[in-house]
Amino acid sequence: MQFPDRQELTSHQLARLRRLLSQLVPGNAFYTERLRSAGLDQGVASLEEFQQNMPFTTKAELVEDQLRRRDSLEGAFRRNYNLRVPVTVAAPGELPRFELKAKRWIRL
């Protein structure tokens, strides 16, 4: 079995990174904003450029972003839809069953 040399490996990693970023940017507002602020939204020329310019992401930043987006999404749903969620209650020790007729409804 032959292992790729360093140049082949770097080329492969760069191609995979570019593909990941092309799929990530249109649909993920958090990383789109981070890439734009790092000057990487138009593409990555090298792995070194990405490593030097892309800031490290912390768990706290991800949690904060998710909470901010969740609150705005919940508000939009509540304003635009009369959303009700069916809830079934199972007896102790039993698994809940999916029922089309809910015994209770929770209004969000």
Give the tokens for residue 91: 């007896």
The reported pTM is 0.60
Q: Alpha-carbon distance 95 to 5, whole Å? A: 54
Q: Alpha-carbon distance 87 to 107, whole Å? A: 11
pLDDT tens, residue order, the chain (108 aa):
788 899 999 999 999 999 999 988 878 889 999 999 999 988 899 999 999 999 999 999 988 888 887 767 666 666 666 555 555 666 777 766 655 454 455 555
**What is the amino acid identity at position 90?**
A
